[in-house]
Homo-oligomer: A and B are copies of this chain.
Amino acid sequence: MAGVMENQLQPSKRSGPLRIGPAESRSIGNRQRDKIVHAATQVFSRKGYDGARVDEIARHAALPKGNVLYYFKTKQDLYRVVIEQVVALWLDALGDIALDTSPRVAISQYITRKLALSRNYPEASRLFAMEVISGAPIIGEQLRSQLREWVEEKGLVFRRWQREGRMAAIEPAHAFFMIWAVTQTYADFQTQIEAVTGAKDYDAEIYDLAAPDVVAVLVRGLGLRDEELVT
């Protein structure tokens, strides 16, 4: 049902025209598919599903509209592929929380990784946000199954840490909600943050400055002590 499923999302600041992971599957017009999906991600993330025009996506991809509809039968199909890819990226970038270090290190790393994700794929973040705000018509099911399981599983770890007094007594799910909220705000609300700070070079002025603050506040807030690493 899905189709194209390796992640074709590319970090915002690309250098060459396209740069994909696996060297395989570079069949002639598969490259087109990539161009289209990439363009669609940009447009959908700014205009939402309804605001986006197939024609505009086509222009972004430097293709005639007819061509886009040749690769993706309908606008919805295209949207589905795009959002599915975003969710995939999201879910596995969620990654594992390292259990072989202290809670403080594990969560610091997690936050840093999540923040990097917002930085490198801001459009993906915004698209995800729009989907959810609109009631997650497409990805709702995945949230209810995969994401929920993930949270439940990691929640157990949090609870253990809490029993051991290595983390404050916060409802684990809410700890995640807060982490996600803070890290994603830098992508989703970029416009607002630019407006308030007057930043010109967002990445340099904002992310570099925010990263340590964000980690510090959350780590301290979640009560993650600076443990002595004893072997």
Copies of this protein chain in the complex? 2
> B134 contacts A168, CB within 8 Å?
no
CB-defined contacts of A214 to chain B, threshold 8 Å: 174, 178
Cross-interface CB contact of A173 among B170, B177, B196, B221, cutoff 8 Å = B196
Interface residues in A, total, Cβ within 8 A:
57
Q: Is A10 at the interface (CB under 8 A from chain B)? A: no
Residues in B neighbouring A48, C-beta threshold 8 A: 48, 50-51, 130, 134
- Please, which residues of chain B bring their CB within 8 A of the CB of A47? 50, 134
Q: Which of A33-41, A70-78, A95-103, A187-195 contacts B (4 or more CB under 8 A)?
A: A187-195
Judge whether A66 is part of the interface by a CB distance below 8 angstroms: no
| CB closest chain-B residue, reference A144 | B195
Chain B residue numbers with a CB within 8 Å of A18 are none
Give A46-61 as 1s and 0s: 1 = Cβ < 8 Å from B's Cβ atoms.
1111110000000000
Given contacts A209-B171, A214-B174, contact A129 B133 (CB under 8 A): yes
Q: Does A88 contact B (CB under 8 A)?
A: no
**5 tightest A-B contacts by CB?**
A221-B221, A181-B185, A50-B51, A143-B195, A217-B221
Can you list 22 pairs linking A and B with CB atoms under 8 Å apart?
A48-B50, A49-B51, A129-B129, A132-B191, A133-B191, A136-B191, A140-B191, A143-B191, A147-B192, A170-B217, A174-B210, A174-B213, A174-B214, A175-B213, A177-B182, A177-B185, A177-B193, A178-B217, A180-B185, A182-B182, A221-B221, A221-B222
